[in-house]
Amino acid sequence: MSLEILSCRNLKKQFVENQVLRGIDLQINKGESLAIIGASGSGKSTLLRCLNFLEIPSSGEVSLRGELIGSRQNGQVLYQERDLIPIRAKIGMVFQHFNLFPHMTVLQNVMEGPRTVLKLPKSEYESRAISYLEKVGIPEKRNAYPSELSGGQQQRVAIARALAMEPEIMLFDEATSALDPELVGEVLDVILKLMQEGLTCVLVTHELGFAYSAAQRVLFMHNGVVLEEGSAYDVLVEPQQPRTIEFLRGHSRFQLPSPKNSQ
């Protein structure tokens, strides 16, 4: 039986007059990988940020393991900052810009969350940090500062830092789009390995070839709604919606297979 990890229902987000999310329904089960694609401004980052409460949704519901996040009052869900801290710890996030702490070494960056948020003892947060640096392939950089690393190495540290919290789910927001092309592969390789090991994750990406080969499910967002959703093959190779078809045409440099029924 599939175990629901994160879901949202009729999720909406409005910035002043700008309705950015117009009612998103989503469910991600344990071990599942979901890629979100869509044009710039369609609301992909806002959706991820609402799912881990870097932005507070205007309305709708988010549940972690089937439990509503926030408290319901008069039909509205209200969020208290102190209740959101443990929730954010369970929903890891990796950004386009790595956001490492520049004054801390690689190891200190990765230990920081387990030390200050999870309040683990030193022996535990240190060995945990080292094991996640090994997982992303750069244990030897533990004493370096972020400025001494390449972009790809910095992003791998950011991934280790998020993993060290041992979250229920990881959200990746265009984790490779700030990287020089020759550094993209090393980060995608790490993400792919994590997915193959069963990491539950949502991946906003413009790397459609990667989404096709790595994600089990793909979702196309347009103007704050989910316009099309299905297997990677259905959405990326045989899309049904004209908007999806048009979007994919603009990404023709990515090598996707031909539809099965084309000769």
Ligand X SMILES: Nc1ncnc2c1ncn2[C@@H]1O[C@H](COP(=O)(O)OP(=O)(O)OP(=O)(O)O)[C@@H](O)[C@H]1O
- Interface residue list for ligand X (CB under 6 A): 15, 18, 20, 38, 40-46
Residue 225 CB, nearest approach to ligand X (Å): 12
The item of Mg ion, ligand X, none sharing an interface with residue 40, based on CB under 5 to 8 Å by kind, is ligand X
CB nearer ligand X, residue 17 or residue 67: 17
CB nearer ligand X, residue 1 or residue 16: 16
Q: Reduced to 3 states, what is the DSSP secondary structure of residue 211?
A: helix
Residue 161 CB, nearest approach to Mg ion (Å): 20
The item of Mg ion, ligand X, none sharing an interface with residue 20, based on CB under 5 to 8 Å by kind, is ligand X
Of the candidates 227, 197, 241, 242, which has an alpha carbon nearest to the alpha carbon of residue 37?
227
Q: What is the CA radius of gyration of the chain?
A: 19
CB nearer ligand X, residue 24 or residue 138: 24
Residue 171 CB, nearest approach to ligand X (Å): 12
239/35 Cα distance (integer angstroms): 15
159/129 Cα distance (integer angstroms): 11
19/98 Cα distance (integer angstroms): 28
Residue 11 CB, nearest approach to ligand X (Å): 12
43/53 Cα distance (integer angstroms): 15
Residue 40 CB, nearest approach to Mg ion (Å): 7
Of the candidates 101, 202, 200, which has an alpha carbon nearest to the alpha carbon of residue 157?
101
Closest residue to Mg ion using C-beta atoms: 45
Q: According to CB under 5 A, which one of 7, 42, 45, 155 is a site residue for Mg ion? A: 45
CB nearer ligand X, residue 15 or residue 101: 15
Of the candidates 77, 57, 70, which has an alpha carbon nearest to the alpha carbon of residue 13?
57
Residue 57 CB, nearest approach to ligand X (Å): 13
Of the candidates 25, 31, 1, which has an alpha carbon nearest to the alpha carbon of residue 170?
31
CB nearer ligand X, residue 7 or residue 45: 45
Judged by CB under 5 A, the number of residues near Mg ion is 1
Residue 46 lies near Mg ion (rule: CB under 5 A): no
- Supply 240's token pair: 């049904």
- Show Cβ contacts of residue 39 under 8 Å, excluding neighbours closer than 6 positions: 222, 247
Tokens 């789910």: give the residue: 169
CB nearer Mg ion, residue 51 or residue 138: 51
What does the binding site for Mg ion look like in residue numbers (CB under 5 A)?
Answer: 45
